Amino acid sequence: MIVRAQVWWTILQMCIAERLAYRGDFILGTTMRFLPIVTQIFLWTAVFASAQSDQMAGYSRNDVVAYYLLTMVARAFSSMPGLASGIATQIRDGQIKKFLIQPIDLIGFSLLARIGHKLVYYAIAIGPFAAVFYLCRGFFPGWPAGEVTAAFVASLVLSFLLGFFLESSLGLAGFWTLEISSLLFVYMLFNFFFSGHMFPLDIVPDPWRTAIEYLPLKYLAYFPAAIFLGKVPENRLWLEVGVEAAWVAFFIVLCRWLMHRGFNRYSGFGG
C-alpha cells in the first residue's frame, strides 16, 4: 500500500513538473483569460440599459457580472481542455498499450495529471483572480453564510470530478469510434449553453429550463455561482449538492465500465 502511494505521489510530482516546464507560456495564457471580463461588464451594462430595467429573471446588472466572475471560478475547476481528445488520440495511435502492460491505471494516471495541471493553474491564477475580485467587489452582495460557503466549496470540488469523469467517458468512446471530434464538438456546444457559462440558466424560459434541470451540465458552471449568489433555496441546497455527487458517482462507474469494455475489445499490433 505504501509503495503504491509512493508511485502515485511520484506520478503527481512528474505531472506538476511537466506543467512547469513551459511556465512562461502557461502564465501568459492564464493571464489572458481574464481580459474578457472587461467585455462582459460593458456587454451586460449595455443589455440592461437597452432593456430599461434593473432586473432580469431576478438578476440585477451587478448580479450578472458577479455571476460571470463566479462561473470563471467554476470553469477553472470543471473545464478539462484536451482530456477527451488526448485519451482518444492515445487509443488511435496505440499509446494506450502502455496501460495494458504496465501496472498503472489509465483513469488514475489521467486524474493525477489533471490534478497536477490544476494545482499549477491555481498557483498562477490566484493572483489575477484575487486582483479581479478585489476590483469588482462592488458587484457582489457580500460573503455568504458559513453553510452556503461550505456548499459552494463542495460544489467546486464535485464540479472538478464531474468534469473529469464526464470528459474521460467521452474520450473512452474512442475504443468504438477512433475519431471523436464530431462528438466533442456537439458536447462543447451543449456545454457552452447548458452549463450556464454563457448566461444564467434562470433566464431560459420553460419548458427548456425544466429540461436543463435534468442535465448534469449545469453543475459545471451555473450551480456553484448560483449557490454563492443565494439563488439556490436553503431547503434545497444540500439536496442539489447530493444530486451533483450522484452524477459524479454515475460518471465514475460509466468511465470505469467503458475503460474495461474498451480494453477487452482493443487490439494493438506492432512495436
Boundaries of every domain in the chain? 36-101+124-265
pLDDT band at 27 (very low <50, low <70, confident <90, very high): low
Q: Among 91, 94, 103, 116, which residue's Cα sits nearest to residue 168? A: 91
Distance (Å, rounded) from C-alpha 114 to C-alpha 18?
A: 11
Grid cell listed for 260: 474495461
Q: Which is more confidently placed, 24 or 267? A: 267
Distance (Å, rounded) from C-alpha 47 to C-alpha 76?
A: 26
Q: Which is more confidently placed, 94 or 169? A: 169
Q: What is the pLDDT of residue 12?
A: 66
Residue 166 has pLDDT above 90, yes or no: yes
Distance (Å, rounded) from C-alpha 135 to C-alpha 229?
A: 18
Cis check for the bond before 103: say yes or no (omega within 30 of 0). Answer: no
Residue 113 has pLDDT above 60, yes or no: yes
Q: Which is more confidently placed, 103 or 201? A: 201
pLDDT band at 3 (very low <50, low <70, confident <90, very high): very low
Distance (Å, rounded) from C-alpha 136 to C-alpha 62?
A: 10
User: Out of 33-47, 109-123, 124-138, 175-189, which region has the weakest mean confidence (pLDDT)?
Assistant: 33-47
Residue keyed to cell 513551459: 22
Residue 111 has pLDDT above 80, yes or no: yes
Q: What is the pLDDT of residue 23?
A: 58
Which range in 49-58, 97-106, 130-139, 248-257 is most confidently predicted, on average pLDDT? 248-257
Distance (Å, rounded) from C-alpha 142 to C-alpha 63?
A: 11
Average pLDDT of span 108-118: 86
Beta strands in 210-260 (DSSP E): none
